[in-house]
A and B are shown apart, each in its own frame.
Chain A
Amino acid sequence: MNDLAFPAAERPLADSENLAISARGLVKHFGEVRAVNGIDLDVPRGMIFAILGPNGAGKTTLMRMLATLATPDAGTASVMGCDLVGEPHRVRASIAMTGQFASLDEDLTGRENLVLLSRLWGFRGRQAGARADDLLAAFELSDAARKQVKDYSGGMRRRLDIAASLIVTPGVLFLDEPTTGLDPKARQGVWRMIRQLAGAGVTILLTTQYLEEADQLAARIAVIDHGRKIAEGSSRELKAATGSGFLNLTLSDPARLDDAAELLEARLGTVAQRNVEGGGLSIAAGDAAEANGALAALVAAGIELTDFSMGQPSLDSVFFALTGHAAEEHAERKDLS
């Protein structure tokens, strides 16, 4: 990491030049709790990178450290070529963060919020107003420009919050759970916006507890649990690591879920993931022949199926395979939608 000490002009064009974020051994504890317990992260420039994990996994703490809002207890990191601990002011000049809770002044209008931030970034007088109006138009908020933010819907608020992070185009945009609490339509809107931002060359690091979100948006995903990174790769790589084939089935009698799971586990030698309400089961199966044999065994045991399919594992299954527990059961408490 010594090359980071060189002034930008003389710095040799190394691998780190292509990295928006490079972190080694980041640690943060709160009292006895190690919220982040030694995480390495390399995020290439221009990529959408997702940090996936259940509540309390350490996602937000990791992001707050990278956004200079919390000081690491150990480890080093550079963001856009600037040392996180040594030059926080330079890091701040090249990042923007949209937190989990709308970081807006509710009493002011949407436009006033953006003008305020534009002035803080150094736009003067009319320029600040023009910048605010451009962003309001781009985020389809022109009609609500003169309304107080407390009268905005959740989706509008989130759009304004993201707009507020783009006063000056950041090198890295941090998005902490950008769609938590949004309805499906608003969520689609935020996804579309994130893709467009990435298209404009902004590196995006987002945290999410929605497997689908990481799957949809991110080129690379780091899976985090209990403050540690337990896997990293593209969505496809993570799925491949879990096993090629996955057997998903639904029982006509959910009461027999345990019987069916035990039988399948004994036959296939892997752990089945149960969905109790729906009477569904997912389990890794080596290939179609093995799956076929398992299905035949179920029928022989008198367990009837309403539906079955063979396919790639979902990220949900991946998470289960990696951590031994489902992501959603942690996520439920938080999910407001």
Chain B
Amino acid sequence: MNETPTLADALRRVERPRPPSAFSNALVFGWRAVLKFKHVPEQLFDLVMTPIMFTLLFTFVFGGALAGSTRDYLQFFLPGILVQTVVFNAVYSGMGLSTDLGKGLFDRFRSLPIWSLSPFAGLMVGDVLRHLIAASIILTIGLILGYRPEAGIAGVAAAFLLLVAIGFGMGWIFIVLGLLIRTPTTVMTVGFTFLFPLVFASNIMVDPATMPGWLRAFVDVNPVSLMTTAMRGVLGGGASIAEIALALLAPVLLTLVLAPTTLWLYLRR
């Protein structure tokens, strides 16, 4: 029965401190995402295994046939696989969100006097970290296998910035899906159903020159192709402003449309 005074003590002196800023709220949610890496390291495994397998398979199985040599193919393929990794990774925050909503965790967050969007900002912080970690691992493996970014360290830094922007934009799609769909696995299924055609019917794996005309028409305007073209340019040196602008078009539009949608869905749940 010694907890009686302790509980009373714990309750007595607790006035609310000065309310924190929206930014500091968002950072706290970002910290949560970092803790998740510590406690659920498996998620990193999921995150990088697929792209590593893709890199190895495509380079060594198809690379010679597609580009004459595995080395030439890797030089072509690696920027694309970075884009693919980030695009696929975006699914995970949608799944995480769906899990949290199912457990009532967001009810707690929603009943707190904090900036309403801060939990989502936190998801985004987690996403950005995830993208950077995955991209670093893929790039390291690429370097070991013989990939050489012609644009050097500056090019790699620019490429990472571009990846973060792409991931941020794509992330909204899955946050909206996470808000709409109750089960995390359905979020994943719906997400991949939508992403597979986008990723495969693009210029990531092969030059679209050999594709039938109707498919090329799609591949040429596919946002994933535009992102990949810009990524090749940034890493290889010689990306034009226009290429980068086209690559950012989809992420910017998605953010403009889906960020308000997210808030609307969240507040009306």
Contacts and interface: CB of A to CB of B under 8 A. Distances in A.
B123 to A, nearest CB: 13
A120 B10 contact: no
A196 B7 contact: yes
B9 A108 contact: no
A93 interface: yes
Interface in A110-152: 112, 116-117, 119-124, 127, 131, 134-135, 137-140, 148
A45 to B, nearest CB: 16
B268 to A, nearest CB: 8
B8 A101 contact: no
A106 B10 contact: no
B14 A107 contact: no
Contacts of B14: 131, 166-169
Interface in A64-121: 64, 67-69, 71, 89-90, 92-93, 95-97, 99-109, 112, 116-117, 119-121
Interface string B83-121: 000000000000000001001111111111110000000
Given A108-B35, A140-B3, A120 B11 contact: no
B7 to A, nearest CB: 4
Contact of B20 (A64, A105, A119, A193): A119
Interface stretch (B25-33, B137-145, B236-244): B25-33
Given A68-B111, A103-B104, A103-B105, A121 B6 contact: no
Contact of B28 (A119, A140, A196): A119
A196 B10 CA distance: 11
B31 A116 contact: yes
Contacts of A117: 108, 112
Contact of A99 (B15, B39, B107): B107
A304 B182 CA distance: 55
Contact of A199 (B8, B10, B39): B8
A135 B111 contact: no
B29 to A, nearest CB: 8
Contacts of A124: 17, 20
Nearest to B8: A200
A205 interface: no
Contact of A134 (B10, B19, B103): B10
From DSSP, what is the main secondary structure of chain B's interface residues? helix
B12 to A, nearest CB: 7
A120 B107 contact: no
A122 B6 contact: no
Contacts of B3: 138-140
Interface residues on B, range: 35 or more
A92 B103 contact: no
A92 B111 contact: yes
A196 B32 contact: no
Contacts of B111: 67-69, 92, 95-97
A242 to B, nearest CB: 36
Contact of B105 (A97, A100, A105): A105
B107 A122 contact: no
A166 B10 contact: yes
A120 B114 contact: yes
Nearest to A89: B113
Interface in A258-283: none
Nearest to B27: A119
A101 B108 CA distance: 10
A200 B32 CA distance: 31
Contacts of A105: 32, 100, 105
B113 A104 contact: no
A164 interface: yes
B35 A122 contact: no
Interface in A155-174: 164, 166-169
B178 to A, nearest CB: 16
Contacts of B110: 68-69
Given A117-B112, A137-B6, 14 more contacts: A69-B110, A97-B107, A99-B104, A99-B107, A105-B100, A108-B35, A116-B32, A122-B20, A138-B9, A164-B108, A166-B10, A167-B14, A168-B16, A197-B11
Interface of B: 3-4, 6-12, 14-20, 24-25, 28, 31-32, 35-36, 39-40, 100, 103-114, 268
Interface of A: 64, 67-69, 71, 89-90, 92-93, 95-97, 99-109, 112, 116-117, 119-124, 127, 131, 134-135, 137-140, 148, 164, 166-169, 193, 196-197, 199-200, 202
List the 7 closest pairs (A to B, CB-CB), nearest first.
Answer: A103-B108, A138-B10, A122-B17, A101-B104, A93-B113, A92-B113, A138-B7
25 contacts: A71-B268, A95-B111, A99-B108, A101-B103, A102-B103, A103-B108, A104-B108, A105-B100, A105-B105, A109-B39, A112-B35, A116-B31, A117-B112, A119-B20, A119-B24, A121-B112, A122-B19, A124-B17, A134-B9, A137-B10, A139-B3, A166-B14, A193-B7, A196-B8, A197-B11
